[in-house]
Amino acid sequence: MLWLTALILWTSVSHSCGSDLQFPSWFKFGAATAAFQVEGAWNVSDKGESNWDRLTHRYPEKIADGSNGNDACNSYYLWERDIEIAAELGLQFYRFSISWPRLLPTGFANNISEDGKNYYNNLIDGLLEMGIQPVISIHHYDMPQMFQDLGGWTNPKIADWYAEYARVVYSLYGDRVKYWITINEPTLTCDWYYGQAILTPEREYYVGPYLCNKNLLLGHAKAYHIYDQEFRNKYNGKVSIANHLMWLMPYSNSTEDQELTEATMQFLNGRYTQPVFSKEGGWPAVVEQAVAKVSKEQGYSESRLPPFTQEEIELIRGTYDYLALNHYTSRLVRKRRPFEDVVQSLFSYVADLDAVLEMDPSWPFGYSELMSIYPRGLREIMLWVKQQYGDVEILITENGYSTGGSSLEDDARISFVRDHLEQVILSIEEGVNVTGYIYWALMDNFEWTSGYNSKFGLYEVDFSVPERTRTPRKSAEYYAQVIKKRSL
Ligand SMILES: *[C@@H]1O[C@H](CO)[C@@H](O)[C@H](O)[C@H]1NC(C)=O
Ligand SMILES: *[C@@H]1O[C@H](CO)[C@@H](O)[C@H](O)[C@H]1NC(C)=O
Ligand SMILES: *[C@@H]1O[C@H](CO)[C@@H](O)[C@H](O)[C@H]1NC(C)=O
Ligand SMILES: *[C@@H]1O[C@H](CO)[C@@H](O)[C@H](O)[C@H]1NC(C)=O
């Protein structure tokens, strides 16, 4: 350990002398998108209908600007330009996702779309030719509508349907893809889309998110084991799940707020992380107890949080080769005040703990008011991961800043990236095993319920023309410089 201490002393001294903040030679940079958000071409060839096609077409009022992904960035046609801008930035990673209904029009592995298969083959091969490694999310929110009709992630059969789809993806692309993400942001997939009445017609946040939580972890685990047993020897890639982890701090120094904060960390972060990454597996005890207690008070005959069998705990435990971390925002946690009126929301109120999540008024935010900015939260959450689960390799797979309107002058985004990357360097010096940073997003795109209003892109996209012209913002030039110099 002595050499490590010496190294830390040396590097901290070198900062105070004003030299550049330097990234280690092995550290990699990337940018990300996801299929539904950029591809468009929603009904071409034999592509099946996705749950997000249906949602945006039938309930446009759920989308801020009433828009949809029919054309999005037209990346289905403009993938060569996407590779070109990734290369302009000097990226080492491009993270994107595969559209399940584009690849498997029936949802099942009995019919692989030729056009779907070729689209991703072209994209992967084109990236590799430019020396850019693909990082692929197998499932990023969109699934065949047929499965959504059957309950989506709340139907226990979905774990097998998903795993079968994952096997097809590995078998088609595993020879060239070394970083896999099974499922993007289970917290949003379950707690947000099933809990906020977005994907489900009636408001139901008591049972749906927990069923989704369990089935989704089983689906992830099955997909991991398929890779492990059928592909790892040949391809030697790495598989993870991309967890959206928020950093939480107590609102006050009272013991009550401190304990509540720890419980909320387990509720929002641990519920999707502990079953996979901890030594013991299973639900965090504090969550299990809280949901059982509240369920009983509400007159349910059993806890709304479905238990795992011992066999399921073993199936899920240890199903990772690294941790894919998405991080945007932090919160302060306190108990709900008597008679305080609150609405259940992933970002502001946890009903089963009666915990209110607040933003510190001193934290700035971009266009998205949910994403208040506290760069140190990124470092804190990585330290928390290390402390809870040990020295797992962390790849930051999302972190980004939103603007509204049209502007290429995005100094606030530059500060955001700079401040977060500084925290990454400090984390490395503190012994956190973080090996890369993938910015969200490569370009403006369909930001789910925000539609096209919220713009996270390093490249601005002109959605008013069919060419969907991609133009670098000031932040793109900044990020390219960081990647080139490997320092801040
Ligand atoms: C595909 O959807 C568009 C709307 O985005 C519609 O105009 C077009 O007719 C559809 N094409 C087919 C083949 O259904
Ligand atoms: C698979 O897709 C093709 C083309 O759409 C179609 O002709 C065929 O009937 C499908 N097969 C199955 C098993 O669904
Ligand atoms: C909690 O205590 C620490 C150390 O005494 C202090 O720096 C901090 O401001 C306190 N936080 C709050 C929210 O009161
Ligand atoms: C970081 O993770 C990688 C990949 O799992 C591992 O090989 C390496 O030993 C880890 N490094 C540290 C310092 O724990």
| Overall average pLDDT of the 143-171 stretch | 97
Please name the residue whose Cα sits nearest to atom 5 of ligand 1.
70
Ligand located closest to 26 CA: 4
- With cut-offs at 50, 70 and 90, classify the pLDDT of residue 345: confident
Residue nearest to atom 4 of ligand 3 (CA): 253
Tens of pLDDT along 71-119? 999 999 999 999 999 999 999 999 999 999 999 999 999 999 999 999 9
Which residue from 359, 447, 436, 435 is spatially nearest to 403, judged by alpha carbons? 447
pLDDT at 7: 44
End-to-end distance of the chain based on CA atoms, in angstroms?
27
The rounded mean pLDDT for the chain is 94
Whether the CB-CB separation of 123 and 76 falls below 8 Å is answered with: no
- Tell me which residue has its CA closest to atom 9 in ligand 1: 43
- pLDDT score of 262: 98
Q: How confident is the model at residue 4 (pLDDT cuts 50, 70, 90)?
A: very low
Cβ atoms of residues 464 and 57 within 8 Å: no
Cα–Cα nearest to 33, from 400, 379, 370, 369: 400
Q: Strands 355-358 and 330-335: what pairing?
A: antiparallel
**Residue 180 dihedral angles phi and psi, to the nearest 5°:** -115, 145
What is the 8-class DSSP label of residue 62? G
What percentage of the chain exceeds 70 in pLDDT? 94
Average pLDDT value for residue range 342-360: 93
Query: What's at 206, amino acid-wise?
Result: Y
Q: What's the confidence (pLDDT) of residue 365?
A: 94
> What letter does residue 110 receive in the DSSP assignment?
T
Probe residue for ligand 4, chosen from 322, 395, 433 as the CB with the greatest number of ligand atoms within 8 Å? 433
Active site residues: 185, 398
Pocket of ligand 3 (CB under 6 A): 252-253
369 touches ligand 4 (CB under 6 Å): no
Give 52 Cα–ligand 1 centroid separation in angstroms.
16
Question: Is 282 exposed, middle or buried, given 0-12, 13-18 or 19+ CB atoms closer than 10 A?
Answer: middle
Both tokens of residue 371?
A: 């994403």
Structure tokens at 166: 């994952």
Question: By alpha-carbon position, which residue is closest to atom 6 of ligand 2?
Answer: 111
Distance from the CA of 118 to the center of ligand 2, in angstroms?
Answer: 17
Superfamily of domain 33-333+362-485: Glycosidases (3.20.20.80)
Helix, strand, coil percent content, the chain, rounded in steps of 5:
45, 15, 40
Which tokens in the block code for residue 7?
A: 């190294």
Q: What is the pLDDT of residue 159?
A: 98
Establish whether residue 70 lines the binding site of ligand 1, counting it when its CB lies within 6 angstroms of any ligand atom.
Answer: yes
CA atoms of 249 and 258, how far apart (whole Å): 8
Q: Give the mean pLDDT of 439-460.
A: 98
- The residue among 465, 467, 470 whose CA lies nearest residue 455 is 470
Output the residue whose Cα is nearest ligand 2's atom 1.
111
**Ligand 3 test: best mutation among 249, 252, 253, most atoms within 8 Å of CB?**
253
Q: Ligand 2 — pocket residues by CB below 6 A?
A: 46, 106, 110-111
Statement: residue 137 has pLDDT above 60:
yes
Domain ranges of the chain: 33-333+362-485
131 DSSP 8-state letter: T
Span 190-228, pLDDT tens digits? 988 877 766 655 555 688 999 999 999 999 999 999 999
Q: Which position has the token pair 């005890």? A: 285
Res. 6: pLDDT tops 50: no
pLDDT of residue 200: 59
Query: Rounded distance, CA 207 to CA 294, Å?
Result: 12
- What residue's CA is closest to ligand 4, atom 2? 393
pLDDT at residue number 15: 47
| Cα-to-centroid distance, 393 and ligand 4 (Å) | 6
Ligand 1 mean position, distance from CA 104 (Å): 19
Instruction: Determine the pLDDT at residue 16.
Output: 41
Q: Is it the case that residue 269 has pLDDT exceeding 50? A: yes
Least confident piece of the model among 134-138, 175-179, 264-268, 347-351: 347-351
Cα(386) to ligand 4 centroid in Å equals 12
Q: What's the average model confidence in pLDDT over 315-319?
A: 98
pLDDT class of 3 with cuts at 50, 70, 90:
very low
H or E segment and range at residue 184: strand 179-184
